Chain A
Amino acid sequence: MNRIRYSKYRQIRELLVKHSMLTLTVTSLVFALVIGISLYFKSEPILEKQSLAALLGGESWKPLKGEFGFFPFIMGTLWVTGISILFSLPLCLLAAIYLSEYAHPYIKKVVYPMIDVLAGIPPVIYGVWGILVIVPFISEKLAPHFVEFSTGYSILAGGIVLAIMIIPLMISVFIEIFDALPGGLREASLSLGATNWQTIKKVVLRKSFPGLAAAVVLAISRAFGETIAVLMVCGNVSEVPHSVFDPAYPLPALIANNYGEMMSIPLYDSALMLSALLLFVIILAFNAISRLVLNRIEKNFAL
């Protein structure tokens, strides 16, 4: 095959551009690896002293005595994340079904930009809102009905704030999944005499289940890593929480709150970097799995 022959200058330029861009692209691919490795090296000192299982299961967090038990923080993270999913999942599912199956295009035109705006609000603003509205509401109105005393800085406050924060992500992925379903499926069901609602229940939801699950995993990993907002409203007490009105101390908040003193106490920085590594690995895995599932769905349905 005869190739086009460009002038020498243009050939060289082409090669230079192509290879430098290729190098950059390939370098960017190993970037995640670099993050993982550097965090691992930083957390190695503490892993040499104690086993990972002992660190994760330990309940006592006393850096001055060299006791680094992550259990309260892991429980704090799980509680807050759980509550936030509990609130946001039904809201998002209902709203997404409404917006993609029932709503008039005019309503979509109004609501979609609002979801975008909600997605753009920074975490620290959600935190301020939590302090101004949610925390007083819990301590004054809600908590007295259930427990003797709560400052309001609690798992519940963190869960509510986080729920609002992950709504934009969850709802937009949900809507994308519903919209990616081939229209023929709905028409087939409707033409067999099923009502709109029956079609949604038996066809749309069933068919899009893997995608919805992947979206929830994506939202969970977002909630896992959220730092500042949670730090501002959760109370930050390093004890295993027992009720939603107890304060909690999620892992990301632990990292953010102690960066100042971590260099002055032995192994402290190593322990904090280990928690960053844990977050990184868990979220990386969650994200990779759900993205693969979502990509597959997109490909299967886009005919």
Chain B
Amino acid sequence: MRHRGIKKTEEGIFKGLMILATLTIVISLFMIVVAIVKRGLPAMSWDMVSKIPSGGFYLGKEGGLLNAIVGSVYIVVGSVTLGLCFSLPIVLYLNLYLSEKSQLAQITRLSFDVLFGIPSIVYGAFGFTLMVYLGLRSSLLAGILTVAILIIPILIRSIDEVMRRVPKEMKDAALSLGATKSEIIKPMLKQVVPGIITAVLLSVGRGIGDAASVLFTAGYTDSIPTSLSQPVATLPLAIFFQLSSPIAEVQDRAYAAALILTFIVLLLSISARIFSRKFSKNKI
């Protein structure tokens, strides 16, 4: 039948297009990584990761990126710690005290879904207004606070997803043995440790790579901060600022920073993947 032949061709054409689309997406990932590595690798050296820049901001030709690397680590460690302090109690409350159908739980989950979608520049602007209100200057502290606000929705969403899958029977068994709800917190947390690690890795990846939120709040500096009230450099801003410099050596630093950041983020994505797989293996 001719009719069927046309149908078959149509399906064939679309299937071809689909495979092409999938390939395009996969290839674009490789293109990005290859472009970054190709430009960044020649600019890499031991000095890049072990020295702070010297000779003046934006113009200095000497030195490396240590200020940005250390700064990013400070910001991420601070904000993830702070973020966990807020997100763990909220997730535990949602899962221990509220039932799946409770209004409060539904509204809270929706609101964090929505907050997750708010762009980091808005959080940056909010952090800035908060900073002005409190009389803070752009500093490590302000940066940590803003990035914490940015990653709390990520932490809550991904820990909640794992904690919801903990069997109800575990909770029931503990309660029937006479435990209070707050006494189940510990075993509950033990159940979701791999989930928490995955969530932390995800939020570290987001926090370390985000420029718009720290642009207003953390400032930028060539030195390593020694207190919470000093401005701090970060890797994304090191890329962003130094790329627009007219001096080739400074631009090289930007490309080297891009390579380092890409490497860190790839490492985080892959290890997050491994941890979450480990968890789904244990879960029966």
Contact = CB atoms under 8 A, between A and B. Distances in A.
Contacts of B22: 94-95, 98-99, 103, 111
Contact of B261 (A125, A167, A228, A280): A125
B130 interface: yes
A291 interface: yes
A155 interface: no
B189 to A, nearest CB: 13
Interface stretch (A115-123, A139-147, A182-190): A115-123
Contact of A120 (B97, B118, B121, B205): B205
Contacts of A118: 25, 28-29
A125 B262 CA distance: 7
Given A90-B21, A164-B28, A29 B209 contact: no
B258 A125 contact: yes
B18, B128, B215: which has the most chain A beta carbons within 10 Å? B18
A284 interface: yes
Majority DSSP secondary structure for residues of A touching B: helix
A35 interface: yes
A120 B265 contact: yes
Given A20-B89, A129-B35, A284 B118 contact: yes
A125 B128 CA distance: 24
A256 B212 contact: yes
Contacts of A252: 119, 121, 212
A149 interface: no
Interface centre among A17, A103, A127 (most CB of B within 10 A): A17
A256 B93 contact: no
Interface of A: 4, 6, 10-11, 13-14, 17-18, 20-22, 24-26, 28-29, 31-32, 35, 38-39, 41-42, 90-95, 97-99, 102-103, 111, 113-118, 120-129, 131-133, 164, 167, 171, 195-198, 218, 221-222, 224-228, 232, 252, 255-256, 259, 272-273, 276, 279-280, 283-284, 286-288, 291-292, 295
Interface of B: 7-8, 10-11, 14-15, 17-22, 24-26, 28-29, 31-32, 35-36, 39, 86, 89-90, 92-94, 97, 104, 107-108, 110-115, 117-126, 128-130, 133, 152, 178, 180-183, 185, 202, 205-206, 208-212, 215-216, 236, 239-240, 243, 254-255, 258, 261-262, 265-266, 268-270, 273
18 contacts: A115-B25, A117-B270, A120-B265, A121-B32, A122-B265, A123-B209, A124-B211, A124-B239, A128-B35, A197-B10, A218-B117, A227-B120, A227-B212, A228-B215, A256-B121, A279-B119, A280-B122, A288-B114
